[in-house]
Structure 1
């Protein structure tokens, strides 16, 4: 998963440099509002809201924006968003899961389907590719908070299943039902994590050639640029040469 993680980090940095901050903040605010509306407006009592606020703080979203998003939910004047998961196949037989939050199901489905088609892939029925992924808890810390061995030992002691450490980050995986417990235990030792959320983790990753990889990167960029798309998960790895080209 190291190459996959590196790819996601490059995409993340690129997104922050290229995409409008207002669009990013809008997506973060939408998740905060929905999380607060579905549960308690207190992040200590609402793990999903806490995860959304962590994501917002990681992107330096102003506190006022975060509070406004929570207040919008409790004030009852928020839009009604529907959470939808799309699944499909990209170039090279790769699998993608797209999580969206929309107030217009037909518009979003039409857009996502067209993106898959234009890339040479196709959208599939719900469940068609999700069986190739595991729904797990994910916690992320900067590499600077501890060395790999210390993080590995602490994570296992907290109840995690696996840890992947790189020069940039520690990525901790656990059962989805244990996410809140593991996250709090690690926070007591290392401070607030950069992320603590549920994700779709591929059971196996497919290596793709550079031509296919570039098509997949364009598909992911197009999907992630859509206002209604919150997350995109994939099961492919890129070559070191293409990763280096993207990083440059």
Structure 2
């Protein structure tokens, strides 16, 4: 998933990622392993691992793959990944935050910088755009889970901060530290979410026209194709009409 946009835009991005399932599983496995290394190997005792496992399940990752990724954390001599965050501006002045897990910082930094420079963007220093974002918890459900009233009621009871509903689905926002608890309460009522993770939510958004959106999507695709890049967030909004034109 990339950026902050309407739910249909997000699902469009997820649909594109479905074609790269093997690569997506690799990224999910990496996050599970890192989360397990940083805390207990039990998802019930490790909130970050719980979120990583939930994200893997939402992408239909097999249970055996998930367990192997957890077990890998205890193996001696395994890869040692570092968490990196890159910030910069894409075409049209869109602010982007790129989150990565890498075993080679120089390689990843070079790849991210090249992606920005070749697609109308400029990579900045850490903190150059994140001041325009809030660190929040993000939970997403498809519309089939229920109507707006049902989801809103469940979200309020679970302790969520805000709910955005459309004909395509529901986006639920929480405080970062409350994400694990809220997701757990919602799962009891609505079932497993389609997406649960810590997010960078923009304070203000920028409307991207067709020309800007085309280049922006190319930049995001390039970044997401990199094995080290886990997630790309942005402060853009793209209308349904423009998304349809882009196909």
* Structure 1: tracts of 5 or more residues without a match: none
Tell me whether 1:223 sits opposite 2:223 in the alignment: yes
Please give the TM-score of this superposition, normalised by the length of structure 1: 0.94
Unaligned ranges ≥5, structure 2: none
Q: Aligned pairs, how many?
A: 245
- Residues 2 and 22 from structure 1, CA distance in 2 versus in 1: closer, same or farther, beyond 3 angstroms? closer
Rounded Cα–Cα distance in structure 2 between residues aligned with 1:109 and 1:227? 12
1:103 counterpart residue number: 103
The 5 A counterparts of 1:1-248 are 3-17=5-19, 19=20, 21-246=21-246, 248=247
Measure, in 2, the Cα distance between the counterparts of 1:203 and 1:9: 22
Q: Which shows bigger deviation, 94-103 or 183-192?
A: 183-192
8 A contact 2:7–2:170 mirrored in 1: no
Partners of 2:17 and 2:24 within 8 A in 1: no
The answer on whether the counterparts of 2:208 and 2:237 sit within 8 Å (CA) in structure 1 is yes
| Structure 1 residue ranges, 4+ long, deviating more than 4 angstroms after superposition | none
- Cα drift, residue 143 of structure 1: 2.0
Give a deviation string over 1:35-73, Cα, whole Å, max 9, x none. 111011111111111111111112211111111110000
1:4 and 1:236 in contact (8 A); partners too? no
For residues 59 and 157 of structure 2, the distance between their equivalents in structure 1, rounded to whole angstroms, comes to: 29
Change (3 A) 1:137 1:124: same
When the two chains are superposed, the root-mean-square deviation of aligned CA atoms in Å is 1.6
Q: How far 1:3 sits from its partner (Å)?
A: 4.8
Note if contact 1:205-1:235 (Cα within 8 Å) is conserved in structure 2.
yes
Residues 210 and 239 of structure 1 are in contact (CA less than 8 Å); yes or no, is this contact kept in structure 2? no
Q: Secondary structure at the match of 2:73?
A: helix
Contact 2:7 2:169 (C-alpha < 8 Å) held by counterparts: no
- Whether the 8 Å CA contact 1:2–1:164 is kept in 2: the answer is no
